[in-house]
A and B are shown apart, each in its own frame.
Chain A
């Protein structure tokens, strides 16, 4: 009689412990998952901000170099693609394409010294460089948040629990190495 009570008590204790662990883990997973979402929103902000800057930049450049149609078309195409992209991977790819179109624009700009001296253009370049840098910063923080989350749900007891609770790995914002450099215009 006494023995069965003890066994029951031990089992109860174990159940409570596991339950407590499960609740704690679940909450921390939710928190970190939210952190990833929050950080992604910051990345989106910067993508949007850059998207807003580009029409100004293009129209300023057009004032001096109207016949460089090819570059303007490439930028317009890339912007349209970015607007249609939904997942992290798609958006990252579209953003990279836009980055390379912008770099080409900046190469074109090199041929127009008057444009480079334009105050409006210089201000735009500061805004653009700042946005690229913000994007790099927020992207780094996003990837860091993803890394924390992913490494947590891949570790042993959690890997089973996370699957039951419906959490899956989050995608990194992957960038090709040549797109990592912030476009720079030297004055």
Chain B
């Protein structure tokens, strides 16, 4: 049996990043989702896209998603930093398809988390909010990886709930309290390194060889180098598995900006702008599937 994957069935054309071919989103849903997608693209360079279709035809949702991803070319060619959410209404199938370049950031388990966030909303028929809640989780992972704090806000009143300060506020403080001593110890541990040969100061380079995931630890390599006598040493150490991020409560997405004035009426309402951040990106079947 040979699968003829090149048979491009009639995949719908993207009209923007949020494509509702089944007519389930309100204008308000769309403008909020577009604002979120635009913010992520502008601030991290990662392209999110959504396709709500009536059904996925003869293909499985997985096949449909990988083909649609390729047809749309989400993310820049060669970079492939994109995330496509496919919602298939008839079958109640849901898929997050992750571009090659985003696989280290949105691992399959994380893609599962993103979809799990959507399901309760979908069961209530709140498709826009479900997508928004899920994409916020994805945006959080992407922002952390890019080392930025997303500047995001709700475009309308109904979506402000997503930005209410979480009640368990001390999380930040806790991180600070735990983090400072750890940082201090790490700093002194690194700073104090002396060359065993000439007692000169060593330069220390830390490099991640293999990213850690939830399930497998990663590997990091520490390279010690003495600029004086040329002493060179390399050590490998394991990075422990990732911990699941705290669920529930608010999103640590930066300054819950709804008090930040009403300015910035940016172009998200302007309808026919076409998809942004589509440039021939590809995916290889990474991601997760769910049913609601």
Contacts and interface: CB of A to CB of B under 8 A. Distances in A.
A172 B285 contact: no
Contact of A127 (B66, B107, B244, B289): B107
B5 interface: yes
B274 to A, nearest CB: 27
A144 B107 contact: no
Interface string A12-45: 0000000000000000000000000000001000
Contact of B215 (A127, A140, A176): A127
Contacts of B2: 143, 147, 172
B112 A123 contact: yes
Given A138-B284, A182-B62, 10 more contacts: A127-B213, A127-B214, A129-B289, A130-B285, A133-B289, A134-B284, A137-B284, A139-B3, A172-B2, A180-B1
A113 interface: no
Interface residues of B, number: 25
A96 to B, nearest CB: 12
A175 B1 CA distance: 7
A122 interface: yes
Q: Find the residue from B244, B285, B287 having the highest chain A CB count within 10 A.
A: B285
Interface in B1-27: 1-6
A172 to B, nearest CB: 6
A177 interface: yes
Nearest to A136: B285
A127 B285 contact: no
B208 interface: no
A137 B1 CA distance: 14
Given A123-B214, A131-B108, A141 B5 contact: yes
A56 B23 CA distance: 43
B215 A130 contact: no
Interface in A150-169: none
Nearest to A175: B1
B216 interface: yes
A131 B213 CA distance: 14
A141 B102 CA distance: 20
Given A56-B215, A123-B214, A182-B62, A130 B5 contact: no
B66 A137 contact: yes
A75 B1 CA distance: 25
A68 interface: no
Contact of A130 (B1, B3, B4, B287): B287
9 contacts: A126-B109, A127-B108, A127-B214, A134-B285, A135-B285, A137-B284, A144-B5, A177-B1, A182-B62
B216 A130 contact: no
Given A119-B244, A122-B112, A133-B62, A140 B5 contact: yes
Interface in A55-93: 56
A88 to B, nearest CB: 13
B208 to A, nearest CB: 17
Contacts of B244: 119, 123
A110 interface: no
Contacts of B216: 52-53, 56
A176 B1 CA distance: 7
Nearest to B289: A129
Contacts of B112: 122-123, 126
B78 to A, nearest CB: 14
A118 interface: no
B1 A140 contact: no
Contact of B108 (A56, A126, A139, A177): A126
A126 B288 contact: yes
A129 B95 CA distance: 12
A140 B3 contact: yes
Interface string A169-187: 0001011110010100000
B111 to A, nearest CB: 7
Contacts of B289: 129, 133
